[in-house]
Structure 1
Amino acid sequence: MLEDEVTSALPGMTPRVPRPTPVLERDPSVQSRIMGGALRFTLRPLMHRIPGRPLPIRAARAAIDRAAALLPTDRRVRVERVRDPQLRSGLVVKAEWVIPDGDHADDAAVLYLHGGGYVVCSPQTHRSLTTRIAVDNAMPVLVPHYRLAPEHPFPAALEDALESYRWLLARGFTRIVLAGDSAGGHLAASLAAEISRHELPSPVGMVLYSPWVDLSCELSLAEDALVRDPYISPRSALRVARLVTGQKMDPRLALLSLEWSELPPVLIQLGGAEVLRPEGEAFAELLMAAGAPVELQVWPGQMHVFQLLNKLLPDADEAMRETSAFIRAVVGDRQQPTNLTVVA
């Protein structure tokens, strides 16, 4: 773990390196070790060579989406398509509405923002997470088809996320949990700041899986020499980040340079074997310093967003149960949340 601050490679970002964080007292399962080893020698080399250019990214996006279309959807939910023009903004909310079977509260929902580096993946690729959250918590989950880079650089994704949040508010959802993984975790945190700036009602909680907090990749580049991440390549991530940021750096991307206060409870789950661990810890430290109720979990030996494999790995299954306990706790408080205050 680094002890000195790192100077950001992108303007406006000054990552703060955290103090060492205690990990959860459990060993990774045999299944996790096998899966991590297999990915380290197969997927990791491919990820390292992915160029940061539009054409290969679009090809990868199409291949991932085709593969996701072959996966079955959990029969305990129904998935509805949302396509709703927003007259005020001129944008169109495009999303999946994942609705669990049985009774559920009519004022509580999860807004889930999928990962994929802001350039690939979709609501369908993340159904193993979104359907599990819906079923475990008896809550509907809205998963936006937010616009992707490089065709739509930041803040397009943030604008779509904000309109999706407004869509939920307009339908009477007052207890909303923001959630996201990797780049979706970054987007969820950015959305929390945007909600404050627009003086909208605050979410009741936030769940971040392996958030890609530092788009300068300074922290992950330094960590890459210390851990054996099964598939994340910080150098490839940096090439992708430059497509996301566009020609001009948006200060809303620099989560570690914001001042946070009046935060809802936050759950951050990190893999102990991923290069994004230091930036997740840095973000948790920043929020804790601001007085936020933060639960930080570092899962030993786990890779980036291991929760996606919750049907295969006992560790991921347990992480989802921890998620459910957190969501039920924050949603169980029926008092109206206070507004979130963020100062850029």
Structure 2
Amino acid sequence: MAAALTSAFVRPIANAIPASRAGIAFSRAFIASSLWLASPPLKGSRIEPGIRGEWVRGPEVTEGNAVVLYIHGSGYALCSARTHRGLTTRISDGTGLPVFACEYRLAPRHRFPNAAEDVRAAYDRLLDQGYRRILVAGDSAGGHLAVDLAAQLIRERREPPAALALFSPLFDVTFSLAAQRERMSPDPMISAAAAARLVGLYTVDADLASARLRFTFDDIKGFPPTIIQAGGLEMLAADAIELARALRRAGADCELEVVPGQMHVFQALTRFIPEAEPAMERACRFLTGNLPAIVRAA
């Protein structure tokens, strides 16, 4: 029912909005209000400002030397840490860990690799603050940024995150995989063409064959354990499947869940979709199950 209603009312709006300054402003307001309605922050959670982001703690969460870095999605252009509090408060509650939801510079004003640089800066700040056990979670474009972060750290022979949880991650920034999937069944939320226009605001001057945008993992060994969740009705299910294949070919421990009948980032729709909560619980168990033993300061 949720998918049918979304297809009838949201998809036409999403496809009609132009990738202009006015269109982006409308989309930001529309998505912010929609997420607040569909998945309000978990009651009893605490939100505190941080450097280029915010700290989120579930009702019973205390401090430690482990943390979750959350990277929001929405095409590198639309959302923020604030819009994703429904997700971040539940991740904090489910893992028992504080979550730092980073803010990154948004397109169209800021283009590749600005967002990726801001995510890396957030990770480095967590290290500087004494966190030695870092988990990473992200949705949609945030999933792409999470994979890029881990890959870059490995290439630099730096310690990558302990584990990743990716919700409906973007893998193919050209949207060729999504377009193929769309020909079998339209995505309830948006068309591949409209999504490509939005992401194109970020990648417009970039080489789409760059290793930072088109992941191959040919030179990557030791990628962190990763869980990928996607909805069976969304076009980015194709991206989720191909990303899982690529990670497994590289030797990574990767769990893939394509949940039948679900939409893009359905975990954020807790008020309307019963499958959202158990999926989030599975993702949180995966993250904490791959958290290493306590690291003592030298």
Alignment TM-score > 0.5, same fold:
yes
- Name the residue aligned to 2:252: 292
Q: CA deviation at 1:206?
A: 0.4
Determine if the alignment matches structure 1 residue 95 to structure 2 residue 62. Answer: no
- Name the residue aligned to 1:310: 270
Encode CA deviations 1:108-165: one digit per residue, 9 max, x unaligned: 1110001111010111111111000001111000111110001001111011100100
- Name the residue aligned to 2:46: 78
Amino acid at match of 1:50: I
- Name the residue aligned to 1:281: 241
Amino acid at match of 2:234: E
Once the two structures are superposed, the pairs formed by residues 1-344 of structure 1 within 5 Å of their partners are 34-65=1-32, 73-83=41-51, 94-102=52-60, 104=62, 106-249=64-207, 251-259=210-218, 260-331=220-291, 333-334=292-293
Amino acid at match of 1:100: G
Encode CA deviations 1:263-305: one digit per residue, 9 max, x unaligned: 1110000111111111211110010011100011110111110
Q: CA deviation at 1:196?
A: 2.3
Q: Which has the higher contact order (CA 8 A, sep 6+)?
A: 1
| 164-173 or 62-71, larger mean C-alpha shift | 62-71
- Name the residue aligned to 1:340: none
Paired residues of 1:186 and 1:212 also in contact (CA < 8 A): yes
Q: CA deviation at 1:43?
A: 0.4
Amino acid at match of 2:183: A
Encode CA deviations 1:31-80: one digit per residue, 9 max, x unaligned: xxx10100011101111222233331133224544666788543322100
Q: Percent identity?
A: 38
Paired residues of 2:187 and 2:233 also in contact (CA < 8 A): yes
Paired residues of 1:229 and 1:275 also in contact (CA < 8 A): yes
- Unaligned runs of at least 5 residues, structure 1: 1-33, 84-93, 337-344
Return the alpha-carbon distance in structure 1 between the equivalents of residues 261 and 35 of structure 2.
Answer: 26
Paired residues of 1:311 and 1:317 also in contact (CA < 8 A): no
- What SS is found at the alignment partner of 1:267? strand
Bigger Cα Rg: 1
Amino acid at match of 1:49: A
Amino acid at match of 2:126: L
Return the alpha-carbon distance in structure 1 between the equivalents of residues 93 and 136 of structure 2.
Answer: 17
Alpha-carbon RMSD across the aligned residues, in angstroms, is: 2.0
Paired residues of 1:267 and 1:296 also in contact (CA < 8 A): yes
CA shift in 2, pair 1:309/1:127, >3 Å: same
CA shift in 2, pair 1:284/1:73, >3 Å: closer
The count of residues paired between Structure 1 and Structure 2 equals 292
- What SS is found at the alignment partner of 1:297? strand
Paired residues of 2:67 and 2:98 also in contact (CA < 8 A): yes
Paired residues of 1:69 and 1:124 also in contact (CA < 8 A): no
Encode CA deviations 1:295-321: one digit per residue, 9 max, x unaligned: 111101111100001243211111011
CA shift in 2, pair 1:77/1:149, >3 Å: same
| 225-234 or 161-170, larger mean C-alpha shift | 225-234
| 288-297 or 227-236, larger mean C-alpha shift | 227-236
CA shift in 2, pair 1:246/1:190, >3 Å: same
Amino acid at match of 1:102: E
- What SS is found at the alignment partner of 1:257? coil
CA shift in 2, pair 1:66/1:304, >3 Å: closer
CA shift in 2, pair 1:72/1:220, >3 Å: closer
